[in-house]
Amino acid sequence: MKLSLSRDLDEISRIVAATHTWFAAQDVSDSLLFPVDLATEELFVNMIRHNPSKPDKITLELDTVEHGVAVQLTDYDVERFDPRSAPTPDISAPASERRIGGLGLHLVANVVTALDYDYRNRTSTVRFIALENDQRV
């Protein structure tokens, strides 16, 4: 599955619809739907927030892998931002000290099996794999 996405949060509903249709046609576990939805949304939103006004589309690709799903998001003509380098939030802080935001990439790291990043020719490519029963690669 391949989608070309505008930098608009309303594209999330199109991502969800296309992802669920694609899952229904594949031999992959529905248990992966939640982590794939979550990681895709968080990474897509992160790309929009880092480069909100670029004219270029963001490309989303889904493929099956053994026991799971591989998802790739590609953002063109942007500065480098490796989502794996995002600061880790203090999840043990009391509510009074918790700030709103900063959790998205932390959640991604928790729900996917592997997360990779590549940057070349001003193109950012984020790829994650979600495996059934979280079989670590």
Partner 1 sequence: MFEVSPIQAGQVELIGRLDAAQAARAETLFERLIGAEVLDLSSLEYISSAGLGLLLKLHKQKMAVGDGLRLVEVSPHIADILHYSGFDKLFDVMPATK
Residues in contact with partner 1 by the rule CB under 8 A = 9-13, 16, 34, 37-38, 41-42, 45, 89, 91-96, 98, 100-101, 103-104, 106-107, 110-111
120 or 136: whose CB is closer to partner 1?
136
CA distance 129 to 9: 23
Inter-residue contact 108 to 42 (CB < 8 Å) = yes
CA distance 117 to 126: 5
**Cα end-to-end distance, the chain, whole Å:** 23
66 or 103: whose CB is closer to partner 1?
103
CA distance 95 to 110: 21
CA distance 136 to 67: 11
Question: How near is the Cβ of 124 to partner 1 at its closest, in Å?
Answer: 19
State the CB neighbour count (10 A cutoff) for residue 78: 17
Question: How near is the Cβ of 17 to partner 1 at its closest, in Å?
Answer: 11
25 or 95: whose CB is closer to partner 1?
95
Question: How near is the Cβ of 120 to partner 1 at its closest, in Å?
Answer: 28
87 or 121: whose CB is closer to partner 1?
87
SS3 label, residue 57: coil
Question: How near is the Cβ of 83 to partner 1 at its closest, in Å?
Answer: 13
Question: How near is the Cβ of 24 to partner 1 at its closest, in Å?
Answer: 16
85 or 88: whose CB is closer to partner 1?
88
Give the amino acid at 22.
Answer: W
